[in-house]
Amino acid sequence: MWGRNVKHAANYLKRCSISTSLGISRSEGRAVNSNDVSDYNQALPFEDIPGPRGIKYLGTLHHYMTGRLDKYKYQDILEEYFSKYGPIFKETLFGSTIVHVCDPKMFEVIYQDEGKYPEIEPLVEPSQKFRGEGDLSLGLGNSNGEKWYNLRAIVQKSMLKPAEVSSHLQIINEIANDFVDKTLHKGYSDDFLLDTSIWKLESGGALSFGKRPGYLECGSAQEMEAMKLVKMVDNTFTLATDLKFSFPLYKYIKTPAYKALLDSEQYINDVTSVYLSETLKHIETELERTDDFNDIQNTYRFLYSLLGHKNLSKKDMEVIVLSMFIDGLRTVVPVLISVLFCLSQSPRVQEKLFTEIYNVLEDRKYIAASDIAQLPYLKACVKETFRLYPIGLEISRINQNDMVLGEYKIPSGTKLNLNNFVLNRDPNIFANPEAFVPERWLRGSEHAVDAHPYLLLPFGRGPRMCVGRRFAEQDLYVLISKLIQNCEPHWTGEKYEHQFKILVYPACPVKFQFKPRQSSSK
């Protein structure tokens, strides 16, 4: 349960409260949370880190395989471990030991160790294998070291520069307008997860290929393609979760689950590849036909910005475009759903948000970057949603230097998972933690929370911070603004439940009714 008692951890945090600004504390003469060598020598051995006991080498894998532990409720299992073992514990699954860390002071020490090339374990290991064996580029999330760095340097310019991101607002607005019209026309949805997934594919496709794929057209072949893509992405995440908690035979032979995952990955890759080839051919023809580069640049903005990099191979370009096209399905979409769910449960917040949006936009249909800058309450609503319904359970790091975390030696090369989410409903940090109170994140508000800067990091931080962050936020801010500007969402589903499928995803039918706002209420 998300709001489980965190007494054990809270006691620990109190014990360590005499910290320096570096996040280094002293307890009983021993260093806690430090990357200082002399502290390392005095720290407790790695083996003493608590955690669930398992069978030698196999660890706790058998509990997941026999169903004693429900892998799809991994979020609850981690919370339970946290309340049992405290803010640092370890778990082994078939020879692979992960140290779980649940304390912002420890996060700070880990991030300070990152250096130029922060190292990670891939989020979806079987996908990394699929890409490696298929002679495809691994992409950012599956690579480390210099290879990662060089690709990141290129992608960063096209994906994180605010002006570059907001230059796509025209198409993002158009798509959001069409989606809102469609949603209002129907007035309800019994599968808003699918509806918003199709919206996200339309926006990801338009950004990637400079042309709308046409996925919002009801009953079209394009809509069928979008549905199949959604299904294939879903398969990939479900199968990757099954593989994560089973004997990793797939690393040696093509097990049925791995084969099914390959088929899903292949379909997604093939669709992207066809669109990309067609678009590149089109750009080439246009460049031969006309001298009006501005027009081409405006239409194919994202691809054009990538084409400017001489060192970018076609394979690398393919994986970046794939990420832009598809990654929002398991990230932006569940966040959007959770924001709307929270708003539907809190008429006070919804009304306040509507007032903010209406004051800025009135009835305007185009949202500019300068409008988004004037919507602090909207941003606070999204941030508060990340607190209540995080989509990721961990940020992965492999430390490159020996360090001390919570009094224990952590030798370099240890797999660390930063499980910030377990603190999100801690009553010692957040007053009335189950309540949706966006004011917590507004400076000057009486509800403003004095949280450690490393506590809530939905996009991570540092050189490996989510590269899609600005696009994701822009998509969310535009669509939420338009929906709330035009209608009141009412949750008509049952209990809002989630499951772990590598990321956290709604586990229940997502149903809403959308009541149009009367002009008199504006």
Question: Binding site: residue ranges?
Answer: 466
Three-state DSSP state, 399? coil
Which helix (H) or strand (E) segment is 182 a member of?
helix 169-186
Tell me the closest approach of the beta carbon of residue 381 to ligand HEM, in angstroms: 13
Residue 106 vs 335, nearer CB to ligand HEM: 335
Which helix (H) or strand (E) segment is 189 a member of?
strand 188-189
Do residues 359 and 377 make contact, with C-beta atoms less than 8 angstroms apart? no
Summary count for the chain: helices (H), strands (E):
20, 13
Do residues 189 and 200 make contact, with C-beta atoms less than 8 angstroms apart? no
Nearest to 300 by CA among 315, 314, 287: 287
Number of neighbouring beta carbons within 10 Å of residue 216: 21
Tell me the closest approach of the beta carbon of residue 449 to ligand HEM, in angstroms: 20
Three-state DSSP state, 188? strand
Which of 210, 213, 438, 458 binds ligand HEM (CB under 6 A)? It is 458
Three-state DSSP state, 501? strand
Three-state DSSP state, 505? strand
Which of 51, 59, 126, 141 binds ligand HEM (CB under 6 A)? It is 141
- Cα separation, 315 vs 137, in Å, equals 5
Residue 193 vs 472, nearer CB to ligand HEM: 472
Do residues 85 and 100 make contact, with C-beta atoms less than 8 angstroms apart? no
Residue 88 vs 120, nearer CB to ligand HEM: 120
- Cα separation, 63 vs 416, in Å, equals 22
- Cα separation, 376 vs 23, in Å, equals 30
**First-to-last C-alpha distance (Å) of the chain:** 39
Do residues 290 and 283 make contact, with C-beta atoms less than 8 angstroms apart? no
Which of 468, 489, 493, 506 binds ligand HEM (CB under 6 A)? It is 468
Per-residue b/e over 292-322, b at no fewer than 16 CB within 10 Å?
eeeebbebbbbbbbbeebeebeeebbbbbbb
Which of 240, 378, 467, 479 binds ligand HEM (CB under 6 A)? It is 467
Question: Does 215 contact ligand HEM by CB under 6 A?
Answer: no
Give the annotated binding-site residues for heme.
466
Question: Does 391 contact ligand HEM by CB under 6 A?
Answer: yes
From 102-110, 217-225, 235-243, 454-462, give the range in contact with ligand HEM by CB under 6 A.
454-462
Tell me the closest approach of the beta carbon of residue 29 to ligand HEM, in angstroms: 34
Tell me the DSSP string of 25-89: EEETTEEESB--HHHHHHSBPGGGS-----BTTTBTHHHHHTTSS-GGGHHHHHHHHHHHH-SEE
Number of neighbouring beta carbons within 10 Å of residue 55: 11
Tell me the closest approach of the beta carbon of residue 156 to ligand HEM, in angstroms: 9
Sign of CA dihedral 399, 401, 405, 411: positive
Residue 120 vs 360, nearer CB to ligand HEM: 120
10 Å CB burial of residue 179 (0-12, 13-18, 19+) is buried
Q: Write the interaction track for ligand HEM spanning residues 282-321; mark x where CB under 6 A is met and - where it is not.
A: ----------------------------------------
Looking at residues 402 to 421 of the shown chain, list those that interact with ligand HEM (rule: CB under 6 A).
Answer: none
From 59-67, 76-84, 357-365, 463-471, give the range in contact with ligand HEM by CB under 6 A.
463-471
Residue 442 vs 465, nearer CB to ligand HEM: 465
From 100-108, 278-286, 402-410, 452-460, give the range in contact with ligand HEM by CB under 6 A.
452-460
Residue 78 vs 120, nearer CB to ligand HEM: 120
Three-state DSSP state, 36? coil
Q: Write the interaction track for ligand HEM spanning residues 147-186; mark x where CB under 6 A is met and - where it is not.
A: -----x----------------------------------
Q: Write the interaction track for ligand HEM spanning residues 316-355; mark x where CB under 6 A is met and - where it is not.
A: -------xx--xx--xx--x--------------------
- Number of residues interacting with ligand HEM: please give it, by CB under 6 A: 24
Question: Does 140 contact ligand HEM by CB under 6 A?
Answer: yes
Residue 43 vs 140, nearer CB to ligand HEM: 140
Question: Does 506 contact ligand HEM by CB under 6 A?
Answer: no
- Cα separation, 20 vs 432, in Å, equals 29
Residue ranges of alpha helices (H) inside 290-346 are 293-299, 301-307, 314-326, 332-345
Three-state DSSP state, 409? strand
Residue 79 vs 327, nearer CB to ligand HEM: 327
Tell me the closest approach of the beta carbon of residue 46 to ligand HEM, in angstroms: 23
From 55-63, 185-193, 290-298, 391-399, give the range in contact with ligand HEM by CB under 6 A.
391-399
Residue whose token pair is 């049952």: 494
Question: Does 104 contact ligand HEM by CB under 6 A?
Answer: no
Tell me the closest approach of the beta carbon of residue 130 to ligand HEM, in angstroms: 16
What is the contact surface with ligand HEM in residues (CB under 6 A)?
120, 140-141, 152, 323-324, 327-328, 331-332, 335, 391-392, 395, 458-460, 464-468, 471-472
